[in-house]
Protein backbone atom coordinates (compact mmCIF):
# COMPACT_ATOMS: atom_id res chain seq x y z
CA UNK A 1 0.00 0.00 0.00
CA UNK A 2 1.11 3.55 -0.73
CA UNK A 3 -0.09 5.79 2.10
CA UNK A 4 0.10 9.50 2.76
CA UNK A 5 -0.05 10.74 6.36
CA UNK A 6 -0.81 14.38 7.07
CA UNK A 7 0.53 15.41 10.45
CA UNK A 8 2.94 12.50 10.16
CA UNK A 9 5.62 14.16 12.31
CA UNK A 10 3.24 14.55 15.25
CA UNK A 11 3.05 12.10 18.08
CA UNK A 12 0.12 10.05 16.75
CA UNK A 13 1.12 10.49 13.12
CA UNK A 14 4.72 9.43 13.59
CA UNK A 15 3.66 6.38 15.56
CA UNK A 16 1.35 5.50 12.66
CA UNK A 17 4.21 6.05 10.18
CA UNK A 18 6.39 3.64 12.17
CA UNK A 19 3.65 1.01 12.05
CA UNK A 20 3.03 1.43 8.31
CA UNK A 21 6.73 1.19 7.46
CA UNK A 22 7.12 -1.86 9.72
CA UNK A 23 4.38 -3.53 7.66
CA UNK A 24 6.27 -2.77 4.43
CA UNK A 25 4.15 0.09 3.07
CA UNK A 26 5.43 3.12 1.18
CA UNK A 27 4.67 6.32 3.11
CA UNK A 28 4.55 10.01 2.24
CA UNK A 29 4.48 12.38 5.23
CA UNK A 30 3.09 15.91 5.00
CA UNK A 31 3.77 18.13 8.00
CA UNK A 32 4.63 21.81 8.48
CA UNK A 33 6.52 21.03 11.72
CA UNK A 34 4.58 23.71 13.60
CA UNK A 35 3.96 21.19 16.36
CA UNK A 36 5.44 17.99 14.97
CA UNK A 37 9.16 17.25 14.93
CA UNK A 38 11.63 15.52 12.66
CA UNK A 39 12.96 13.85 15.81
CA UNK A 40 9.70 11.89 15.91
CA UNK A 41 10.59 10.46 12.50
CA UNK A 42 14.22 9.66 13.29
CA UNK A 43 13.67 5.92 13.64
CA UNK A 44 11.48 5.85 10.54
CA UNK A 45 14.02 7.70 8.44
CA UNK A 46 16.85 5.48 9.63
CA UNK A 47 15.12 2.24 8.73
CA UNK A 48 12.73 3.17 5.92
CA UNK A 49 14.89 1.79 3.08
CA UNK A 50 13.70 4.54 0.67
CA UNK A 51 10.02 3.93 1.47
CA UNK A 52 9.56 7.20 3.37
CA UNK A 53 9.17 10.61 1.68
CA UNK A 54 8.83 13.78 3.73
CA UNK A 55 7.16 16.96 2.46
CA UNK A 56 7.26 20.08 4.63
CA UNK A 57 3.98 21.78 3.86
CA UNK A 58 1.08 23.53 5.58
CA UNK A 59 -2.23 21.88 4.70
CA UNK A 60 -3.66 25.38 4.17
CA UNK A 61 -1.39 25.66 1.12
CA UNK A 62 -3.33 24.85 -2.06
CA UNK A 63 -0.14 23.24 -3.38
CA UNK A 64 -1.09 20.26 -1.21
CA UNK A 65 -3.74 19.36 -3.78
CA UNK A 66 -1.10 19.12 -6.49
CA UNK A 67 1.27 17.18 -4.24
CA UNK A 68 -1.36 14.55 -3.50
CA UNK A 69 -2.33 14.35 -7.16
CA UNK A 70 1.32 13.84 -8.08
CA UNK A 71 2.06 11.24 -5.37
CA UNK A 72 -1.22 9.32 -5.96
CA UNK A 73 -1.52 7.58 -2.57
CA UNK A 74 -3.97 4.69 -2.25
CA UNK A 75 -4.93 5.71 1.27
CA UNK A 76 -4.64 9.06 3.05
CA UNK A 77 -4.52 9.19 6.85
CA UNK A 78 -5.52 12.75 7.66
CA UNK A 79 -4.28 13.74 11.12
CA UNK A 80 -2.88 17.27 10.57
CA UNK A 81 -4.89 19.77 12.60
CA UNK A 82 -5.00 22.69 14.98
CA UNK A 83 -5.69 20.66 18.14
CA UNK A 84 -6.21 23.20 20.94
CA UNK A 85 -9.83 23.88 21.93
CA UNK A 86 -8.79 27.16 23.58
CA UNK A 87 -7.11 28.39 20.39
CA UNK A 88 -10.31 27.62 18.49
CA UNK A 89 -12.32 29.69 20.97
CA UNK A 90 -9.88 32.60 20.81
CA UNK A 91 -9.40 32.49 17.03
CA UNK A 92 -12.10 30.43 15.27
CA UNK A 93 -11.04 31.77 11.86
CA UNK A 94 -7.54 30.36 12.31
CA UNK A 95 -9.00 27.07 13.51
CA UNK A 96 -11.30 26.79 10.50
CA UNK A 97 -8.57 27.76 8.05
CA UNK A 98 -6.53 24.77 9.19
CA UNK A 99 -9.14 22.22 10.19
CA UNK A 100 -11.76 22.91 7.50
CA UNK A 101 -9.98 24.51 4.52
CA UNK A 102 -6.89 22.36 5.05
CA UNK A 103 -9.07 19.26 5.13
CA UNK A 104 -10.77 20.32 1.89
CA UNK A 105 -7.35 20.51 0.26
CA UNK A 106 -6.77 16.91 1.38
CA UNK A 107 -10.12 15.79 -0.02
CA UNK A 108 -9.63 17.62 -3.32
CA UNK A 109 -6.18 16.08 -3.68
CA UNK A 110 -7.60 12.64 -2.93
CA UNK A 111 -10.36 13.11 -5.50
CA UNK A 112 -7.96 14.16 -8.23
CA UNK A 113 -5.43 11.45 -7.37
CA UNK A 114 -7.98 8.65 -7.45
CA UNK A 115 -7.21 7.83 -3.82
CA UNK A 116 -9.15 4.81 -2.61
CA UNK A 117 -9.83 5.97 0.94
CA UNK A 118 -9.36 8.75 3.49
CA UNK A 119 -9.11 7.85 7.18
CA UNK A 120 -9.83 10.97 9.20
CA UNK A 121 -8.91 11.79 12.79
CA UNK A 122 -12.09 13.28 14.24
CA UNK A 123 -12.66 14.23 17.87
CA UNK A 124 -14.88 12.10 20.07
CA UNK A 125 -14.30 14.49 22.94
CA UNK A 126 -15.83 17.50 21.18
CA UNK A 127 -18.19 16.60 18.31
CA UNK A 128 -20.90 15.25 20.64
CA UNK A 129 -21.07 18.43 22.73
CA UNK A 130 -21.53 17.82 26.45
CA UNK A 131 -23.22 14.42 26.97
CA UNK A 132 -24.53 13.64 30.42
CA UNK A 133 -25.81 10.71 32.48
CA UNK A 134 -27.15 7.87 30.38
CA UNK A 135 -25.44 9.30 27.28
CA UNK A 136 -22.05 8.19 28.68
CA UNK A 137 -20.17 6.33 27.37
CA UNK A 138 -21.31 8.14 24.23
CA UNK A 139 -22.31 6.24 21.10
CA UNK A 140 -22.05 7.44 17.50
CA UNK A 141 -25.85 7.81 17.39
CA UNK A 142 -25.66 10.69 19.88
CA UNK A 143 -26.49 14.06 18.28
CA UNK A 144 -23.45 16.02 17.18
CA UNK A 145 -23.82 19.33 19.02
CA UNK A 146 -20.27 20.66 19.53
CA UNK A 147 -19.80 23.59 21.89
CA UNK A 148 -16.38 24.72 20.63
CA UNK A 149 -15.24 25.93 17.20
CA UNK A 150 -12.75 23.04 17.20
CA UNK A 151 -15.61 20.54 17.58
CA UNK A 152 -17.65 22.36 14.93
CA UNK A 153 -14.76 22.09 12.47
CA UNK A 154 -14.38 18.35 13.09
CA UNK A 155 -18.12 17.86 12.57
CA UNK A 156 -18.04 19.88 9.34
CA UNK A 157 -15.20 17.78 7.93
CA UNK A 158 -17.25 14.67 8.70
CA UNK A 159 -20.06 16.17 6.61
CA UNK A 160 -17.64 16.91 3.77
CA UNK A 161 -16.38 13.32 3.88
CA UNK A 162 -19.96 12.09 3.47
CA UNK A 163 -20.53 14.51 0.57
CA UNK A 164 -17.34 13.44 -1.23
CA UNK A 165 -18.36 9.81 -0.83
CA UNK A 166 -21.77 10.51 -2.37
CA UNK A 167 -20.51 12.82 -5.13
CA UNK A 168 -17.13 11.33 -6.01
CA UNK A 169 -17.16 7.78 -4.57
CA UNK A 170 -14.25 8.65 -2.29
CA UNK A 171 -14.40 6.15 0.54
CA UNK A 172 -13.71 7.24 4.10
CA UNK A 173 -13.73 6.23 7.74
CA UNK A 174 -13.84 8.90 10.44
CA UNK A 175 -12.35 7.88 13.76
CA UNK A 176 -13.75 9.88 16.68
CA UNK A 177 -10.77 9.74 19.00
CA UNK A 178 -10.93 9.97 22.76
CA UNK A 179 -8.04 11.69 24.58
CA UNK A 180 -5.01 10.07 23.00
CA UNK A 181 -1.79 9.96 25.00
CA UNK A 182 1.60 8.31 24.71
CA UNK A 183 5.30 8.77 23.99
CA UNK A 184 6.28 11.70 21.73
CA UNK A 185 3.39 13.86 22.91
CA UNK A 186 4.57 17.42 23.60
CA UNK A 187 4.98 18.03 27.35
CA UNK A 188 5.22 21.79 26.75
CA UNK A 189 2.11 22.24 24.62
CA UNK A 190 -1.38 23.34 25.58
CA UNK A 191 -3.06 20.04 24.74
CA UNK A 192 -2.18 16.59 26.04
CA UNK A 193 -2.53 16.58 29.80
CA UNK A 194 -0.74 13.23 30.29
CA UNK A 195 2.43 14.50 28.62
CA UNK A 196 2.18 17.85 30.43
CA UNK A 197 1.83 16.13 33.81
CA UNK A 198 4.69 13.74 32.97
CA UNK A 199 7.05 16.55 32.02
CA UNK A 200 6.29 18.60 35.12
CA UNK A 201 6.32 15.68 37.55
CA UNK A 202 9.74 14.56 36.33
CA UNK A 203 11.02 18.14 36.48
CA UNK A 204 9.80 18.56 40.05
CA UNK A 205 7.41 21.33 38.99
CA UNK A 206 3.79 21.73 40.16
CA UNK A 207 1.01 20.44 37.90
CA UNK A 208 -1.99 22.66 37.17
CA UNK A 209 -5.52 21.27 37.29
CA UNK A 210 -8.13 23.58 35.76
CA UNK A 211 -11.42 23.82 37.60
CA UNK A 212 -12.14 21.44 40.45
CA UNK A 213 -10.47 18.47 38.73
CA UNK A 214 -13.72 16.55 38.54
CA UNK A 215 -13.99 16.85 34.76
CA UNK A 216 -13.57 13.45 33.13
CA UNK A 217 -11.94 12.23 29.95
CA UNK A 218 -11.47 8.90 28.21
CA UNK A 219 -7.71 8.31 27.90
CA UNK A 220 -6.65 5.91 25.15
CA UNK A 221 -3.06 4.87 24.44
CA UNK A 222 -1.44 5.84 21.14
CA UNK A 223 -0.45 2.30 20.06
CA UNK A 224 -4.07 1.20 20.45
CA UNK A 225 -5.23 4.17 18.37
CA UNK A 226 -2.70 3.50 15.61
CA UNK A 227 -4.01 -0.04 15.39
CA UNK A 228 -7.48 1.37 14.72
CA UNK A 229 -6.14 3.60 11.92
CA UNK A 230 -4.41 0.67 10.23
CA UNK A 231 -7.54 -1.46 10.44
CA UNK A 232 -9.65 1.41 9.07
CA UNK A 233 -7.59 1.47 5.87
CA UNK A 234 -9.46 -1.67 4.81
CA UNK A 235 -12.65 -1.67 6.90
CA UNK A 236 -15.42 0.54 8.21
CA UNK A 237 -16.22 2.37 4.97
CA UNK A 238 -18.60 5.32 5.27
CA UNK A 239 -18.70 5.16 9.06
CA UNK A 240 -17.95 7.31 12.07
CA UNK A 241 -16.34 5.06 14.69
CA UNK A 242 -15.52 5.92 18.28
CA UNK A 243 -12.00 5.04 19.40
CA UNK A 244 -11.80 5.04 23.19
CA UNK A 245 -11.88 2.85 26.28
CA UNK A 246 -15.33 3.71 27.58
CA UNK A 247 -13.76 4.53 30.96
CA UNK A 248 -14.19 7.97 32.54
CA UNK A 249 -11.17 9.21 34.48
CA UNK A 250 -11.20 12.56 36.27
CA UNK A 251 -8.21 14.87 35.92
CA UNK A 252 -7.66 14.52 39.67
CA UNK A 253 -7.61 10.72 39.36
CA UNK A 254 -5.18 10.98 36.45
CA UNK A 255 -2.86 13.20 38.47
CA UNK A 256 -3.02 10.87 41.48
CA UNK A 257 -2.18 7.84 39.31
CA UNK A 258 0.78 9.53 37.63
CA UNK A 259 2.12 11.20 40.76
CA UNK A 260 2.18 7.85 42.55
CA UNK A 261 4.19 6.25 39.73
CA UNK A 262 6.53 9.26 39.65
CA UNK A 263 7.01 9.14 43.44
CA UNK A 264 5.54 12.63 43.98
CA UNK A 265 3.43 13.41 47.06
CA UNK A 266 2.62 17.08 46.34
CA UNK A 267 -0.97 17.98 45.40
CA UNK A 268 -1.72 19.77 42.12
CA UNK A 269 -2.28 23.51 41.79
CA UNK A 270 -5.82 24.53 40.84
CA UNK A 271 -6.65 27.25 38.31
CA UNK A 272 -9.81 28.69 36.79
CA UNK A 273 -11.83 26.36 34.55
CA UNK A 274 -11.30 26.84 30.81
CA UNK A 275 -13.98 27.98 28.34
CA UNK A 276 -15.23 25.54 25.72
CA UNK A 277 -14.28 22.35 27.57
CA UNK A 278 -16.91 19.70 28.19
CA UNK A 279 -17.35 18.51 31.80
CA UNK A 280 -17.48 14.77 31.07
CA UNK A 281 -16.41 12.56 28.20
CA UNK A 282 -16.11 8.85 27.44
CA UNK A 283 -16.75 6.90 24.26
CA UNK A 284 -18.50 3.62 23.56
CA UNK A 285 -16.25 1.84 21.04
CA UNK A 286 -18.55 -1.13 20.46
CA UNK A 287 -19.12 -0.12 16.85
CA UNK A 288 -15.37 -0.16 16.17
CA UNK A 289 -15.18 -3.66 17.61
CA UNK A 290 -17.90 -4.79 15.20
CA UNK A 291 -16.62 -3.09 12.05
CA UNK A 292 -12.85 -2.99 12.63
CA UNK A 293 -12.37 -5.86 15.04
CA UNK A 294 -10.75 -3.26 17.32
CA UNK A 295 -10.64 -3.06 21.09
CA UNK A 296 -8.18 -1.13 23.30
CA UNK A 297 -5.77 -3.18 25.38
CA UNK A 298 -3.60 -0.72 27.31
CA UNK A 299 -4.84 0.26 30.78
CA UNK A 300 -4.17 3.73 32.18
CA UNK A 301 -1.56 2.72 34.76
CA UNK A 302 0.47 0.84 32.14
CA UNK A 303 0.16 3.58 29.53
CA UNK A 304 1.00 6.50 31.80
CA UNK A 305 3.90 4.50 33.21
CA UNK A 306 5.23 4.11 29.67
CA UNK A 307 4.93 7.86 29.10
CA UNK A 308 6.82 8.66 32.30
CA UNK A 309 9.54 6.18 31.35
CA UNK A 310 9.77 7.70 27.86
CA UNK A 311 10.30 11.21 29.20
CA UNK A 312 12.64 9.95 31.91
CA UNK A 313 14.97 8.35 29.34
CA UNK A 314 14.43 10.74 26.41
CA UNK A 315 17.51 12.80 25.50
CA UNK A 316 16.93 16.47 26.23
Query: Annotated catalytic sites, by residue?
Result: 150
**3-state class (DSSP) for residue 240:** strand
In the 8-state DSSP scheme, what is residue 173?
Answer: E
| d(C-alpha 264, C-alpha 284), whole Å | 33
- Angstrom CA distances, 1 to 4, 117, 248, 276, stand at 10, 12, 36, 39
| d(C-alpha 284, C-alpha 144), whole Å | 15
| d(C-alpha 154, C-alpha 176), whole Å | 9
* CA dihedral of 71, 112, 162, 239, whole degrees rounded to 10: -30
Q: Count other Cβ atoms within 10 Å, centred on residue 39.
A: 12
Amino acid sequence: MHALVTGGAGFIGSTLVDRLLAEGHEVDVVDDLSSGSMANLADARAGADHKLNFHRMDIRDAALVELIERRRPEVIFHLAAQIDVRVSVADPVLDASINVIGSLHVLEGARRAGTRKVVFASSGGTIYGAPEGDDLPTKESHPQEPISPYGVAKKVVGDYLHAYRELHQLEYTALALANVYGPRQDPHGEAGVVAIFAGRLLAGEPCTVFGDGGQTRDYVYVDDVVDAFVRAAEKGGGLLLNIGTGVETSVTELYTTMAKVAGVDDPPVHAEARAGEVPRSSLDAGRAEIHLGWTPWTDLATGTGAVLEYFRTKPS
